[in-house]
Amino acid sequence: MLLGLRISNVAVIEEVEVAFGAGLTVLTGETGAGKSILVDALGLLLGGRADADVIRAGCEDAAVEGVFARTPVLAARLEELGLPDLGEEVLVRRVLGRTGRGKVYVNGALVTLGVLGKLTRGAVDIAGQHEHVSLFDSGLHRVLLDKYGGLEEALAAYGREWANLREVDSRMDALGGDDAKVRERAEFLRFQLDEITRLDPESGEDVKLDAERRRLGSAQKLKRHGAEAELLVSGEAPSAVEIVGRALGLVHEGVKLDATLAPVAQSLSTALSELEEAARRLNRYVEGLESDPGRLGEVEERLDALKRLCRKHGVTLDGVLKKRGELETELGTLENRREILEELNQERKRVEERARKAALALSRARKASAGAFSQQVREGLGGLAMGKAAFEVRVTAGETLRPDGLDEVEFFFSANPGEPARPLAKVASGGEASRLLLALKRALADSDACGCYILDEADAGVSGAIADVVGRMIREVSSHRQVLCITHLPQVAAYADAHLLIKKSVKGERTVSQVLPLAAGAERTQELARMMSGVEVTREALGAAEALVRSAHRATPRARRESGPEGNSPRGRLRRTA
């Protein structure tokens, strides 16, 4: 839902800030007052294309800011796009520059126009601007039909079979292409496997060899240091063994006089034993340590070979061992390719048969839903003075299975009898688009995820009793979703939960547009009377306006009247946008 909008320096609007609530908000005013500018500005917030000409004369830049309620869909998109999540609201700001490219901010983060479009896609439907009307996007028609028909279970059943089919195809693709390529691949695998097998590495071998290489390369130095250490421990006096032995003898004498020295004697005795053991081990180490240039060469050669193998495969030695297992498995598969392929072909036929059966069931369900949906939309058009218009949902089944089944789904429409129905986006415009959108939205009210509809002059071409039907239908739709409606008909405006007057005036020899919220009662009645009688408001027009309000009041459920429109002024929130 759109909570608030602020526009600065766009066309004849100098500065406008307006809050929107739930239910139906109507925007009225004289022709040229700037009603469509609000719609155009909102289109910019949804990622629409901009022209520097929209910037108010004499200004270097223009800005449009909006506050949207944070729905689960928007929250998921914020996370998906890596954008800040501020909690209950989503703040969008777009700045247009006369001399350069503009900037876009979402919750204070600078983003591209493409990211903005992805974030807000489907959040608002603007009738008359096809690039922002999700219902006019043929790529979404199948999704809308599936939601209308409640086909989630059938779609999920097909999705499982489609996933199984793709899994079998993936296994078949892994077996390679034609026989020549398979043979080439097998030879390459054998070459790699033979290279690893000839070297026959062992896990951790490189670490052990590196330690042996360092020892062999430093044999003379190690022997010298070992011999010197042995002399210090147990060699000529005063050695460590002799010194500790003398200390132990003195302490033993002291123990005879003071038993508390016994632990010290025990510690020295242990130290003496450890030193004697260290001396023996040093002696064995030094005697067994010999230079072996031949073995050193072998170790270095083996280490170099292992390192080359690791570099070639871009892994560690343990990775090479893992690679050997993978090569053996793949080679075994390719060598038995014909038999495995035959088995997979048979499995694929079975899986494809199940998937096609599920797709046909889904297609039948779509065609049944298409008939009911088409009929419901035509009934809605009949109540909107378009009883002779044609509307149909065409479900065309193909032969090739796809992620969403076999079907192409598209909405077709013809406003005039005798004219063939054509794709929706090519034939509906202006008031026709708005009324068709209204009929579509009424049919999709229980399944459409869009939270805000913009109806730009949905009353074009209607009057009298039909206008009242239009007003009732718009009010009915607004009981499910937020609706902002630009209208010239008092019969429609009378059903509003909130009424905004777009008024043009002269300020400092410049034309400016203002948005004035009208209070219930005299202000709204006065505007409805103006819409009926023109510039001069007559007593008769005021009486008729009051009658319209009373009639709409009686037609509106009590609970809805008492709850009133929701939403507070977005002023503070808009200030924090960027």
Region 481-488: mean pLDDT is 88
Rg of the chain taking only CA atoms, in angstroms: 42
Bond before 565 cis per omega within 30 degrees: no
The yes-or-no verdict on residue 575 having pLDDT over 60 is no
* Residue 566: per-residue pLDDT: 45
Region 382-394: mean pLDDT is 86
The yes-or-no verdict on residue 528 having pLDDT over 60 is yes
Residue 177's pLDDT band (cuts 50, 70, 90): low
Q: Could you give the count of Cα atoms lying within 13 Å of 475 in the half-sphere of its Cβ? A: 22
* Residue 577: per-residue pLDDT: 44
Region 381-406: mean pLDDT is 89
* Residue 560: per-residue pLDDT: 56
The yes-or-no verdict on residue 556 having pLDDT over 80 is no
In degrees to the nearest 10, what's the CA dihedral of 21, 26, 31, 34? 10
CA–CA separation, 24 vs 497, rounded Å?
A: 5
Residue 478's pLDDT band (cuts 50, 70, 90): confident
Which of 51-60, 245-254, 379-388, 420-429 has the largest mean confidence?
245-254
Region 236-265: mean pLDDT is 88
Instruction: Say if residue 354 is exposed, middle or buried (CB neighbours under 10 Å; 0-12, 13-18, 19+).
Output: middle
Contact call for residues 241 and 271 (beta carbons, < 8 A): no
pLDDT by residue (tens digit) across 220-242?
Answer: 888 888 888 888 888 877 889 88
What percentage of the chain exceeds 70 in pLDDT?
A: 90
The yes-or-no verdict on residue 403 having pLDDT over 70 is yes
Region 411-440: mean pLDDT is 78
pLDDT by residue (tens digit) across 8-52?
Answer: 888 888 888 989 999 999 998 887 667 778 888 888 888 888 877
pLDDT by residue (tens digit) across 501-522?
Answer: 988 888 777 778 888 899 888 8
Q: Which two tokens stand for residue 141?
A: 């028609």
Q: Which amino acid is at 202?
A: E
The yes-or-no verdict on residue 363 having pLDDT over 90 is yes
Q: Tell me which of 440 and 428 has the higher pLDDT.
A: 440
Residue 81's pLDDT band (cuts 50, 70, 90): very high
Architecture of domain 1-123+454-556: 3-Layer(aba) Sandwich (3.40)
Q: What is the mean pLDDT of the chain?
A: 84
Residue 286's pLDDT band (cuts 50, 70, 90): confident
First-to-last CA distance in the chain? Answer: 20
* Pairing relationship of beta strands 422-423 and 405-414 according to DSSP bridges: antiparallel
Region 442-469: mean pLDDT is 76
* Residue 128: per-residue pLDDT: 55
Region 488-502: mean pLDDT is 90
* Residue 206: per-residue pLDDT: 87
The yes-or-no verdict on residue 417 having pLDDT over 50 is yes
* Residue 571: per-residue pLDDT: 45
